[in-house]
Amino acid sequence: MAMNRESNAYTILYAVVMVVVVALGLALTHQLLKDRQVENENIDKMQQILRSLNVDVTADEALDRYGQLIQNAYLIDEQGVKVAETEGTAPQDPAFSTELGDPEAKGLPVYEAVVDGSLKYVIPMSGAGLWGAIWGYMAIEADGSTIYGAEFDHSGETPGLGAEIADTSFKQQFQGKQLFRDGEFRSVAVVKPGRTDAHRDYVDGISGGTITSQGVDKMLRESVGAYRDFLIKLNMANQ
């Protein structure tokens, strides 16, 4: 080509063409792979829900087990009343696709699971740790107070410290704890190992992961607290 390779016009033209070609290429790649990626994300979410029910399965089995255990899912409003026409457990149904904290959301998701013949309610949680987001699921017995299982994950807490909240030994502490005491919602406290909390049930936090532990404590109070009325109704119905 006769054009001078070092001229400004050539340089600018080159940059423009390059950016357009790259943008088109990446957009095409993303479109081609999007379905599979979304499917993987959904399966990952199902695995987390199942882990809160103390069922740990591989990605291949997750879809089947989710179908077997999760009987129903729906949104509830702030008063704990089921929102009409939100039932359905499939990924495209409102309960599964609603993100916590979305201002457009029509309500809070609840999953109903039947494990060994008894009904459990699974609710999602989200909060902040030291470096980034933390989230999880909590499975609660039909009495609305006893914790059946809990699942936590994080986007980037420090390995060996805050990241330990995703460890089985931390999650297992929650089993059997009560969210209610004396008929009032108290949540479950995450305290420094060795400390106690006289007003509510508590579990030991992570040594060296104080901020993450406090993040979990706050997440329990706020995310589970948002379901207070729903849990109170369960509690009343079963007394």
Partner 1 sequence: MADYNRKNMALLSSKTKAALLGPLNKNNPVLVQVLGICSVLAVTSKLEPSIVMAISVTLVVAFGNVIISLLRKSIPNRIRIIVQLVVVASLVTIVSEVLKAFAYDVNKQLSVFVGLIVTNCILMGRLEAFALGNGPWPSFLDGIGNGLGYGWILIVVGFFRELLGSGTLMGHQVIPQAFYDAGYQDNGLMMLAPMAILLVACIIWVHRAVNKELQEETN
# residues near partner 1 by CB under 8 A = 24
What DSSP letter does each residue of 190-232 carry, written as one string? EE-TT---SSS-EEE--TT-HHHHHHHHHHIIIIIGGGHHHHH
Note whether 80 and 229 are within 8 A (CB). Answer: yes
Q: Does 119 bind partner 1 (CB under 8 A)?
A: no
Q: What is the CA radius of gyration of the chain?
A: 23
Binding to partner 1 by residue 195, rule CB under 8 A? no
Minimum distance, C-beta of residue 36 to partner 1, in the bound complex (Å):
4
Residue type, 52: S
Distance in angstroms (rounded) separating the CA atoms of residues 52 and 49: 5
Q: Which is nearer to partner 1, 10 or 71 (CB)?
A: 10
Shortest separation between residue 156's beta carbon and partner 1, angstroms: 7
CB closer to partner 1, 43 vs 76: 43
Please give the backbone phi and psi of residue 62, each rounded to the nearest 5 degrees, phi first. Answer: -55, -45
Q: Does 27 bind partner 1 (CB under 8 A)?
A: no
Residue 159 near partner 1 by CB under 8 A: yes
Check binding of 208 to partner 1 (CB under 8 A): no
Order of strands across the sheet that contains 108-115:
70-76, 108-115, 118-128, 133-141, 147-154
Strands 180-181 and 184-185, sheet pairing: antiparallel
Give me the least distance between CB of 235 and partner 1, in Å please. Answer: 37
Interface with partner 1, residue 26, by CB under 8 A: yes
Given candidates 2, 16, 20, 33, which one binds partner 1 under the rule CB under 8 A?
33
C-beta closer to partner 1: residue 67 or 156: 156
Residues that bind partner 1 (CB under 8 A): 5-6, 10-11, 14-15, 18-19, 22, 25-26, 29-30, 33, 36-37, 40-41, 43-44, 59, 156, 159-160
